[in-house]
């Protein structure tokens, strides 16, 4: 969540809304977190200001919002102001996720399962823990080049956890 939020700081065109025929940039970085409900279905509450505060505070907010989502205790703002969505089916063993954008948002990032795979390092095949990340973005506000730059920034943040504070 933090890596996504920090990547969004550098690529704000993927964080906002398509309203009345135009892109409306978000005033904050509120990552929508796809949460499966016990009785079935999916809900997308916002983790407000996911780019700020300590990682411990962020984890507490994520646990709180996820719990309240499953118990029906979310605030209206948490259901309406996510500026981008993060969805993960990694815990289900799915290798890759290509999410469906939830309007009026303009982007969603999908994360699969971390798996050990062969990787070439200095001409040698080595085992590396890898994860597949997908991005669906509204082409009215972005394009493949901008999306690739965003994903590279996201990857850099994931590879350097010390930058997430």
Q: What is the DSSP string of 118-144?
A: EEEETTEEEEEEE--EEEEE-TTT--H
Active-site position among 64, 95, 138, 143 = 143
Active site residue 143: yes
- Worst-scoring range by mean pLDDT, 33-37, 53-57, 101-105, 127-131? 33-37
Active-site position among 48, 49, 95, 139 = 139
The predicted structure's pLDDT at residue 154: 97
Please give the full DSSP string across 4-17, using - where no structure is assigned. Answer: HHHHHHH-GGGSEE
Instruction: State residue 106 phi and psi, 5-degree precision.
Output: -120, 5
∠ CA(86), CA(15), CA(49), 5° rounding? 75
Indicate if the alpha-carbon torsion angle 32, 35, 37, 41 is positive or negative.
Answer: positive
Q: What is the pLDDT averaged over residues 60-83?
A: 91
Please report which confidence band the pLDDT of residue 123 belongs to, taking 50, 70 and 90 as the band edges: very high
Beta bridge partners, 24, equal 17
């Amino acid at each position: 969540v933090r890596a996504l939020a920090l990547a969004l700081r550098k690529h704000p065109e993927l964080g906002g809304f398509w309203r009345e025929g135009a892109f409306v940039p978000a005033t904050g970085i509120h990552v929508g977190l796809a949460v499966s409900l016990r009785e079935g279905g999916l809900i997308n509450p916002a983790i407000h200001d996911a780019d700020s505060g300590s990682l411990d505070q962020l984890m507490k907010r994520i646990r709180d919002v996820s719990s309240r989502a499953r118990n029906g205790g979310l605030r209206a703002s948490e259901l309406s102001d996510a500026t981008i969505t993060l969805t993960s089916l990694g815990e289900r063993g799915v290798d890759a996720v290509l999410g469906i954008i939830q309007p009026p948002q303009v982007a969603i990032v999908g994360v699969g399962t971390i798996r050990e795979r062969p990787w070439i390092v200095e001409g040698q095949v080595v085992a590396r823990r890898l994860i597949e990340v997908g991005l669906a973005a509204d082409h009215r506000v972005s394009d493949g080049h901008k999306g690739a730059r965003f994903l590279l920034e996201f990857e850099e943040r994931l590879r350097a956890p010390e930058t997430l504070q």
